[in-house]
Chain A
Amino acid sequence: MRARLAFGLRGQHAVTEPSPVMSPSDGSRPGLMLLALLIAGVGAWMFTQTPSRGGTEPPPGAAPPPALPGFRSDAWLLPDEPLLGFVKIPEGPFLMGGTPATDPGAFDNERWSSTLSRGTVTLETYYLSRYEVTVAQFAAFVVDTGYEPAAETLAAPGDHPVSHVSWPDALAYADWLTGALAAAPNTPEPLRQRLAAGWRVMLPTEAQWEKAARGPDDRIYPWGDTADRARANFQGQTTVPVGSYACDDCPYGLADMGGNVWEWTRSPYQPYPFTGDDDVDTLGDDALWVMRGGSFTDPERNLRTGTRGGGDPGARRPFMGFRVVLATP
């Protein structure tokens, strides 16, 4: 005898032979309905659990940055200055590296070569940001792009330097700012012209960083030749708002070139003499990238303008941040 499906649905479809069928009182029909409801409910619930549902949204913890005194809320919380905080560093040569003869705190990795203790580097004009990139500025980037930072990256107050950023995080911010400034109608004209000419927002090379920190008079510390607890945030407990240590007498008026957070550069960590070339000869080695300036955790020696730190590009630490430069690639 040919059997047939029951499913508790009596008298429907092609019933070709008499065959006992479950009656609804068997409980099959309500059971099937319950099963169907269960599956439909699970499906609907799981649909709401889809991680990517809803497109690009700010990650948890990223809120639209609040207005901050001294920063422009209509320009991604960049400083409220004519050039949005970019400070011109004129072209010209400077002496790079350190020597114990003139600076007892100099490290071995600051020596220029086996024969020279220091070297002369000539740089074209560039614009370095007056302050370290802040939490609020980085949050603006995160909100605009959906970029996923580490959980701690945006935890500090908005006017503190952003920390817990990897080297690629810093590069991503700089690339985004290039595009954002180029596209925004209220970008100051000098910046717009340079961007139109192919200049880009980047991480500074370590030469650009050191020249801006040393200044024309070749300082050991950004504010002079001796360590001073009143001039920078170091040997402390945490970051402080950018620009907390006024330094009008620092070269070019840049703030926090010593202390607060270490600052990523775009230079691979390799022995001097410095070249602006990519480090393509050591691709087999683990990558390390130069960071400068020391941090709130460091002793004064690491705040020297010549001190070179080597950072794991994937490291996200509370004492590592960055500032950006506008320059020709």
Chain B
Amino acid sequence: MAAARKRRARGGRATAPAAPPRPASPPSPLRRLAIPISLGLALALISATDRVSDQLVLTRSVWAAAGALLAWCLVLALQARRDGRTLSLHVVLRPQHYVQAMLHISVLTYWGYHWRPVYDHAWLLVAQLLFAYAFDMLLAWSRRESYGLGFGPFPIIFSTNLFLWFRDDWFYLQFLMLAAGFMGKAFVRWERDGRRTHIFNPSAFSLGLFSVVLIATGTTSLTWGQEIASTLTLAPRIYLFLFAIGLVAMYAFSITLVAGTAAIVLFGASALYSAVTGVPYFIDSEIPSAVFLGLHLLVTDPSTSPRTPVGKAVFGLGYGLGVFLLYAVLGFLGVPTFYDKLLGVPLLNLSVRWIDRMVARLREGERLPLVDAPLAPAQTNLAFMTGWILFFGAMTLAGATDGRHRGDTLPFWEMTCGEGRAQACERLLQIQTNYCGDNAGWACNELGRYYAEGVVVTPDPDRARAAFAQACELRFQAGCLNLLRPDDWLSSDPRPIDYRLLLREAGPNLVDMPEPALLTRACAHGWRSACGDSTP
């Protein structure tokens, strides 16, 4: 309240807080600062855990973050004492914070159960939470605002880490990324509906910004971004899981039209592309699982998205089309395509007021009869949710969500590449490169042949040799022999150990699958030699 009065006295218009601040106890700056100091010390203590102390750079990163926070506390204490200023605090418990946080935690838990690095990351999540609370608090007090204590940092940290985190040797950049998100929330603001509010979804802002930097500097390998984007499917029935999680968010925050429209646009555009070209757009899915996650939990922040039904639908449409186009553009530029779901969100946040104005104009011109539908908003949302459930059910029955996708099978891509289908050879090359990177000797040998023969891709003897060498080191005999042959390169069928990778269908490697079942699966994938071998 005092801070608000001060702002008014300077001529600015104060932002009306959603919940009236309830300043608690007496104005002792040092006493309030005990909270961020404790958070900073707790952060420093995390460096004693095995997860952090095993890595020198990581330890130093945590120390540096904690040290910066404590130094900031000291400066703030001196300033507050000098100015006789009160550092105030009020409690703000908002469902969009704690419900979203619970949804994020459930995704991390389920995903981490099937991909261990997520659980290994747990201490670093705690570290980020401590940092986020302290940073957000100090930033508010430095701006002479009352700090709203609640669960706000939780969804920011979790949604950031659902899409990107830096490797241990560069983890200090993770703290900087979070700092950018909170600074964006504090400083990049506009007026909307008579309130001064932040423009960008904080996590999407920092993710988008850092994505641009990572792309521009070619440093994606400093992060786990690629692995994160491709390991969600290790969790069985991940689409169904995300759908269920999404229903909670849709019910609680009426974001059905945003997520649903984005999903429908992506399903539709993907199906259209597939019908025209004969090959799937997203290689092995109709919507990549990470995009499906993003359209439920990244783009749907109620504070930074439109509030009218039509506005939400337009917002979702923009996200769907944005992802669709960015996927192609990033692929064309040779940039990792997983950034497709991250780059568009800040731009969409920027378009919110334009969308609001457009809807208002349409409403004024009575060109939006559905806006004033007879149902109450909650009932309308339930109606939209019903439609979304039916649509998702139909997609699932059509095999467009969980389960085998035709793009999962290599023979499909070999066939479509041979037929000259759009992008099929590029996709085949990409898939073989991925499998070779995962140590499938057969895939490395095929990759070597592609580069040696120049049929699928422009000839490149150095890459051919490197791929043959890797195949050979994986004990794939044809790869070794191809290193000795100047031309007429050999190929042979995958070995069982290769099938365990090639047939995983975006799930975990089939390490324990008995060989007969493996061959049956291979036959179903279109490997003719496996059909012969498995026939009694």
Q: Is B5 an interface residue (CB 8 A)?
A: no
Q: Which partner residue on chain A sits nearest B439 by CB separation?
A: A314
**Distance (whole angstroms) from the CB of A156 to the closest CB of chain B:** 21
**Distance (whole angstroms) from the CB of A54 to the closest CB of chain B:** 12
Cα distance, A43 to B209, chains bound together (Å): 10
Instruction: Give residues of chain B (62-111) contacting chain A, Cβ–Cβ below 8 Å.
Output: none
- Which A residues are in CB contact (< 8 Å) with B189? 6-7, 22, 28
- Which A residues are in CB contact (< 8 Å) with B10? 23, 25
Contact with B along A4-40 (1 / 0, CB 8 A): 1111100000000001101101111001101100110
Cβ-defined contact, B472 with A168, below 8 A: yes
Q: Which partner residue on chain B sits nearest A43 by CB separation?
A: B213
Contact with A along B480-497 (1 / 0, CB 8 A): 110111100010110100
- Which B residues are in CB contact (< 8 Å) with A318? none
- Which A residues are in CB contact (< 8 Å) with B11? 23
- Which A residues are in CB contact (< 8 Å) with B484? 171, 266, 278
**Distance (whole angstroms) from the CB of A50 to the closest CB of chain B:** 5
- Which A residues are in CB contact (< 8 Å) with B218? 50, 52
**Distance (whole angstroms) from the CB of A109 to the closest CB of chain B:** 18
**Distance (whole angstroms) from the CB of B289 to the closest CB of chain A:** 27
Q: Which partner residue on chain A sits nearest B222 by CB separation?
A: A49
Q: Is A108 an interface residue (CB 8 A)?
A: no
- Which B residues are in CB contact (< 8 Å) with A184? none
- Which A residues are in CB contact (< 8 Å) with B478? 283
Cβ-defined contact, B480 with A287, below 8 A: yes
Given A19-B191, A35-B183, A38-B180, verify A287-B477 contact (CB < 8 Å): yes
- Which A residues are in CB contact (< 8 Å) with B209? 39
- Which A residues are in CB contact (< 8 Å) with B472? 167-168, 287, 313-314
Q: Is B509 an interface residue (CB 8 A)?
A: no
User: Which of A27, A42, A285 makes the CB contact (< 8 A) with B477?
Assistant: A285
- Which B residues are in CB contact (< 8 Å) with A2? 357
Given A20-B13, A168-B483, verify A32-B143 contact (CB < 8 Å): no
Cβ-defined contact, A287 with B476, below 8 A: yes
Cβ-defined contact, B180 with A35, below 8 A: yes
Cα distance, A282 to B213, chains bound together (Å): 50
Q: How many residues of B contact A (CB 8 A)?
A: 59
Q: Is B188 an interface residue (CB 8 A)?
A: yes
**Distance (whole angstroms) from the CB of B358 to the closest CB of chain A:** 12
Cβ-defined contact, B481 with A26, below 8 A: no
Cα distance, A218 to B270, chains bound together (Å): 71
Cα distance, A168 to B176, chains bound together (Å): 43
Q: Is B252 an interface residue (CB 8 A)?
A: no
Given A23-B11, A46-B219, A172-B469, verify A313-B475 contact (CB < 8 Å): yes
Q: Is B32 an interface residue (CB 8 A)?
A: no
Contact with A along B238-279 (1 / 0, CB 8 A): 000000000000000000000000000000000000000000
Cβ-defined contact, A5 with B187, below 8 A: no
Contact with B along A113-150 (1 / 0, CB 8 A): 00000000000000000000000000000000000000
Interface centre among A19, A50, A279 (most CB of B within 10 A): A50
Q: Is A286 an interface residue (CB 8 A)?
A: yes
Q: Which partner residue on chain A sits nearest B210 by CB separation?
A: A42
Instruction: Give residues of chain B (176-206) contacting chain A, Cβ–Cβ below 8 Å.
Output: 176, 179-180, 183-184, 186-192, 194, 196, 199
Q: Is A104 an interface residue (CB 8 A)?
A: no
Q: Is B531 an interface residue (CB 8 A)?
A: no
- Which B residues are in CB contact (< 8 Å) with A5? 190, 199
Q: Is B12 an interface residue (CB 8 A)?
A: yes
Contact with A along B438-471 (1 / 0, CB 8 A): 0000000000000000000000000001001110
**Distance (whole angstroms) from the CB of B218 to the closest CB of chain A:** 5
User: Which of B213, B470, B479 makes the CB contact (< 8 A) with A39?
Assistant: B213
**Distance (whole angstroms) from the CB of A14 to the closest CB of chain B:** 14
Cα distance, A47 to B476, chains bound together (Å): 38
Cα distance, A38 to B177, chains bound together (Å): 9
**Distance (whole angstroms) from the CB of A169 to the closest CB of chain B:** 8
Cα distance, A42 to B211, chains bound together (Å): 12
Cβ-defined contact, A32 with B188, below 8 A: yes
Cβ-defined contact, B12 with A283, below 8 A: no
Contact with A along B354-381 (1 / 0, CB 8 A): 0001000000000000000000000000
**Distance (whole angstroms) from the CB of B208 to the closest CB of chain A:** 11
- Which A residues are in CB contact (< 8 Å) with B186? 31
Cα distance, A128 to B493, chains bound together (Å): 36
Cα distance, A260 to B35, chains bound together (Å): 66
Given A5-B190, A282-B477, A314-B472, verify A42-B173 contact (CB < 8 Å): yes
Cα distance, A49 to B220, chains bound together (Å): 10
Given A278-B485, A279-B481, verify A49-B191 contact (CB < 8 Å): no
Cβ-defined contact, B170 with A22, below 8 A: no
- Which B residues are in CB contact (< 8 Å) with A45? 173
Q: Which partner residue on chain A sits nearest B468 by CB separation?
A: A168
Given A283-B490, A286-B475, verify A38-B190 contact (CB < 8 Å): no
Cβ-defined contact, B191 with A35, below 8 A: no
- Please, could you name 24 A-B residue pairs with CB atoms under 8 Å apart, sorted by A? A3-B191, A5-B190, A6-B196, A23-B12, A26-B143, A27-B142, A35-B180, A35-B187, A38-B183, A42-B176, A49-B219, A49-B222, A51-B221, A268-B477, A268-B481, A279-B481, A280-B481, A283-B478, A283-B492, A286-B475, A287-B477, A288-B475, A289-B480, A314-B472
Beyond the given pairs A22-B196, A35-B180, A50-B217, 8 more chain A to chain B contacts, judged by CB atoms under 8 angstroms and listed by A's residue number, are: A1-B194, A8-B187, A31-B187, A46-B213, A46-B219, A50-B218, A284-B492, A313-B475
B-to-A contact residues, CB < 8 Å: 7, 10-13, 142-144, 170, 173, 176, 179-180, 183-184, 186-192, 194, 196, 199, 209-210, 213-214, 216-219, 221-222, 353, 357, 465, 468-470, 472-481, 483-486, 490, 492-493, 495
Q: Which 5 pairs, one residue from A and one from B, show the smallest C-beta to C-beta distance?
A: A314-B473, A168-B469, A31-B187, A283-B492, A20-B13
